[in-house]
Structure 1
Amino acid sequence: MMNHQRKVGIILTVSLAAMGLVGCGSDPAADKAGSNGASGKVVKLKFWGAVPEESGPKQAVENWNKAHPDIQVEYVRFVNDESGNTKLETSLIAGGEVDVFVNYRMDKLVKRINANLVEPLDSYIAQAQFDIKDNFGDKAITKFNNKSYYIPAIILNDFVSINKSYLDEAKLPIPTDWTWDQYKDYAVKLTKGQGNDKRWGSFVGNLEPKIYEWMDKTVKTELGPNAFYKDAQTSNLDNPVFKSYLDTMVDMERNLKVQPPYAEAKTSKLQGTSLFLSGKTAMVWNGTAGIRSIKNTKDFPHDFVTAFAPTPKMTSNSKFIGGGTGYLDFVTINANSSKKEAAWEFLKWYVTEGNEPLISSGRVPAWKKVDKEKVAKLVLGDNPEKLFDVESFKRVAFADVEYVNDTEFKNLAEIQKIVDEEGERALIGDKSTADAVGNMKKRADDILAKK
């Protein structure tokens, strides 16, 4: 993995150099003088992130600036898409453009590490005696080249939102730990009616179905990190869990008829949150993004309470929480910054107490010392009992589980496309699930073997 990623990093660096954008490395003398105000001048940092200003970053920066007149921070927003990430990477090399930045995908972060755009944090952590295990847990950071390059700001927990009125009607308890077989049983019991009046028991996905995304999240409960790879040259798509996931979706859609058929959901661009809040589906697998819509009773009027359950596991012995859950918002320092000491001070503050203004938009802090009662109140809003089963939310939001951290991303975009294409053929009935995963395996192996 590292050899391939190193090649990607070299290509990135060479390409940017050809554009005339390669800047000089930081000047240690300037760093020392500028980092602690010893020169008497105000240090100005640029902090790049993808969250809109009004969703918390503006307030976070204002809080810091008010308390630290000697180090003033400016928030710069980039859009978390391909063009936005390219803009960030270009700016990382241009001197003075970026000091601290947030990475929202591990594969993007790995590429930047291997392009020498990310500062190792180990010396800063040691000097500050900042206990990572005590503050975030001993598995919060995945090391590369035996170095720590980031600290996660949040934990993103996917979960299943359930209409509690429908649960009560069916005399079903709120699940606290379940498998896909148990999920299907709930979906059958929660499905009701026919035609336009039909209430679906399940909808997997917030927006129109994305096969790879939800398969990825599911198989990792059983396989853990790097589930799609046996090694850098061979895919793992012949593992039975991939077919098992497709079998589950086919069973719910075509046999049990408890979930909208894939073709209908895609053609109609069905959205899980809209279906759920209009009462058209009893359960939807989404996550904290759905909470914002649940609170928005103006655009989504409803009078039922939403309960929460963890995402289903492949088997009762599955060890992990799936790929949609885990540490995220990887906060890093630009290796080309001339103000690294000041950048570290801001980073350390931001990943602990500093990102509190972002909580209300659903970003639950990874910091272990956060006030969980306060977090629940900020996420769910005032008088949460009117809309939420608060205890079930706290169970899924603060679950003590082992998260999945991937480190292998070779040809990931191509593999995603293959899984979506072949998986779609299985879900619409054009191919058997066995043939679909067989084609996934062959096509992915062919691509991995070429590089």
Structure 2
Amino acid sequence: MSLLKKKRWIAGITVLVLLTGLIAGCGGKDNNSSASNNESASNGGKSGKPVTLKMWGGVPPESGPQQVIDNWNKEHPDIQIEYVRFVNDDDGNLKLDTAMITGQDVDLYVNYTVSQAAKRVDSNLALDLSQFTDYNIDEKMGADAAGWKIKDKYYGLPTTKSSYFIALNKDALDAAKLPVPKEWTWDELREYAKKLKGSHQYGFIQNMEPFVDPIDSVLSQEGYTKADGTSNLDHPLVKKWLETLNAMMKEDKTTPPLGEQLTSKMPVEQVFLSGDAPMLNIGAWLLRSSNNFTDYPRNFKIAFAPVPRLVDGADKYVSRGGLGDYISINAKSKHQKEAWEFLKWYADGGMAPMAAGGRLPASKDANQDDALKNLLADKRDTYDLDSLMYVMFDNKTPTYVRSLEQEVMDLRAQEYEKYFLGAQTLEQTIDAMVTRHNTFLKQNQK
């Protein structure tokens, strides 16, 4: 099965499963009403038996979640948490959605994009948190929390400060006499990749999760649609991004061809940490691997740079970031009140061990010193601390949260993959993205 057909198959199954859940939900009770769902939880507590909740998340248990769970369980014998790990990719998210739709035990779960969360809200799988009045999300998390509102409500709690960056092999930079950038463009990164390639197979590699962020950094501000309501996917900077990456893949040969990376499932973190590629586009979850010298031994220092801009000038530039790890309570959970108690504790500091995997708490009431200790552990000497602090704390570039509809993300990915694979021209790619986006817009007019 080809890569594109596989993706379409997965998307089709996802839609079918979600539609099945919607149809089933139409004949039942309102799952956002917590009274009946919490009755069994209250009875369970009175019987003396502990309530057991299952939390689904994408972070490996050993990278923080298990320590969080152990800490809670020790302090709360009446409410015990079990952690279930799912991989944050198409297959993993389908597994989570299927578990909820089919009534398997899911009490809390982590959304990693607004589009994922919005689909689950539409499928009645996320609880409206406005019924809880003892926690002010906007006050606790700040103005950036509003980016996670869906239908002007919170159906989850954004818990982390998200950082995306270019991780750099500082030793390789020093050898090439290249400074650690604080502001740069994709053209400048392209030149860095040429100079750093040297004896490496590639000078620059990317995690696929933030791969398309340069487009969204532009369109999240200038609009995914134009003033006349038609698609803006033919924006000049969309073309600039496509041309730049394609040239790096085919002309410079400084970054892997997309087809090769996808079919080989290139372990980009391992490639970077082994010293085989000196630059990596990724997010703060890199630190859960870079702190792990047992599985990822390295002998170089890591520096950090902001994700580049597509053009000179920082006036209108925004980078992906803000808040993340949007944790929802399953609207079908029988233990919503208990789940809410855990979620508040987690957000206000219980999540501190998650910093070992690069996840810093967003709540103003969390102890950031504890989080920093967990973030660096005993490996602080293996990082360029000035650039780390700049990227994670001191960089004042405005941020955005990816909120584009999943269908639009899928259709544009299907088209730019054809371009990078050499199956269609740049012009054909942009025309196809615009045509398909316009069709989507017409079908979803309100």
Does TM-score exceed 0.5, indicating one fold?
yes
1:313 maps to what in 2?
Answer: 309
1:104 equivalenced with 2:130 (yes/no): no
1:190 equivalenced with 2:190 (yes/no): no
Residues in 2 aligned to 1:278 and 1:76: alpha-carbon distance in whole angstroms? 29
* Aligned residue runs from structure 1 range 266-285, under 5 A: 270-285=266-281
1:445 equivalenced with 2:438 (yes/no): yes
3-state SS of 2:324 partner: strand
Deviations 1:314-373 (A, max 9, x none): 2323545444x3432211222233433322111111122122222213333233444444
**Closer, same or farther: CA 16–247 of 1 in aligned 2, 3 Å:** same
1:31 equivalenced with 2:26 (yes/no): no
1:137 equivalenced with 2:142 (yes/no): yes
Structure 1 stretch displaced more, 284-293 or 92-101: 92-101
Deviations 1:49-92 (A, max 9, x none): 13343333332222222222333333344454556545544554
1:395 maps to what in 2?
Answer: 390
1:336 equivalenced with 2:332 (yes/no): yes
Residues in 1 aligned to 2:370 and 2:282: alpha-carbon distance in whole angstroms? 23
1:46 equivalenced with 2:53 (yes/no): yes
* Aligned residue runs from structure 1 range 235-254, under 5 A: 235-254=231-250
**Closer, same or farther: CA 134–163 of 1 in aligned 2, 3 Å:** same
Residues in 2 aligned to 1:306 and 1:54: alpha-carbon distance in whole angstroms? 22
**Amino acid corresponding to residue 237 of structure 1 in structure 2:** L
1:433 equivalenced with 2:430 (yes/no): no
1:203 equivalenced with 2:204 (yes/no): yes
3-state SS of 1:314 partner: coil
1:65 maps to what in 2?
Answer: 73
Contact 2:416 2:429 in 1 (8 A): no
Residues in 1 aligned to 2:428 and 2:346: alpha-carbon distance in whole angstroms? 49
Find the partner of 1:348 among 344, 359, 367: 344
**Amino acid corresponding to residue 123 of structure 1 in structure 2:** Q
Q: Tell me by how many angstroms 1:165 deviates.
A: 1.8
Structure 1 stretch displaced more, 50-59 or 269-278: 269-278
**Amino acid corresponding to residue 205 of structure 2 in structure 1:** V
Q: Tell me by how many angstroms 1:175 deviates.
A: 1.2
2:168 maps to what in 1?
Answer: 162
Residues in 1 aligned to 2:379 and 2:223: alpha-carbon distance in whole angstroms? 41
Residues in 2 aligned to 1:226 and 1:91: alpha-carbon distance in whole angstroms? 38
**Closer, same or farther: CA 14–260 of 1 in aligned 2, 3 Å:** closer
Query: Structure 2 length normalisation: TM-score?
Result: 0.80
3-state SS of 1:284 partner: strand
Find the partner of 1:291 among 266, 287, 292: 287
Residues in 2 aligned to 1:203 and 1:449: alpha-carbon distance in whole angstroms? 39
Identity %: 34
1:13 equivalenced with 2:21 (yes/no): yes
Contact 2:258 2:417 in 1 (8 A): no
Residues in 1 aligned to 2:442 and 2:86: alpha-carbon distance in whole angstroms? 35
Residues in 2 aligned to 1:288 and 1:254: alpha-carbon distance in whole angstroms? 29
Residues in 1 aligned to 2:443 and 2:31: alpha-carbon distance in whole angstroms? 36
1:405 maps to what in 2?
Answer: 401
Structure 1 stretch displaced more, 85-94 or 56-65: 85-94
Residues in 2 aligned to 1:140 and 1:333: alpha-carbon distance in whole angstroms? 17
Residues in 1 aligned to 2:73 and 2:367: alpha-carbon distance in whole angstroms? 23
**Closer, same or farther: CA 434–63 of 1 in aligned 2, 3 Å:** same
1:217 maps to what in 2?
Answer: 213
Contact 1:252 1:259 in 2 (8 A): yes
Deviations 1:118-175 (A, max 9, x none): 2211231xx31x3333421112133223222111122332211112122223333211
Contact 2:127 2:328 in 1 (8 A): yes
2:9 maps to what in 1?
Answer: none
**Closer, same or farther: CA 297–422 of 1 in aligned 2, 3 Å:** same
Residues in 2 aligned to 1:145 and 1:179: alpha-carbon distance in whole angstroms? 35
1:113 equivalenced with 2:121 (yes/no): yes
**Closer, same or farther: CA 54–232 of 1 in aligned 2, 3 Å:** farther
Residues in 2 aligned to 1:83 and 1:278: alpha-carbon distance in whole angstroms? 27
Aligned length: 426
Q: Structure 1: 5+ residue runs without aligned partners?
A: 1-6
**Closer, same or farther: CA 226–354 of 1 in aligned 2, 3 Å:** farther
**Closer, same or farther: CA 382–89 of 1 in aligned 2, 3 Å:** same
**Closer, same or farther: CA 96–340 of 1 in aligned 2, 3 Å:** farther
Residues in 1 aligned to 2:125 and 2:171: alpha-carbon distance in whole angstroms? 51
Residues in 1 aligned to 2:281 and 2:185: alpha-carbon distance in whole angstroms? 14
Contact 1:422 1:440 in 2 (8 A): no
Q: Structure 2: 5+ residue runs without aligned partners?
A: 1-14
Residues in 1 aligned to 2:254 and 2:101: alpha-carbon distance in whole angstroms? 52
Structure 1 stretch displaced more, 225-234 or 376-385: 225-234
Contact 1:153 1:351 in 2 (8 A): yes
Structure 1 stretch displaced more, 40-49 or 54-63: 40-49
3-state SS of 1:119 partner: coil
1:123 maps to what in 2?
Answer: 131
Residues in 1 aligned to 2:137 and 2:72: alpha-carbon distance in whole angstroms? 22
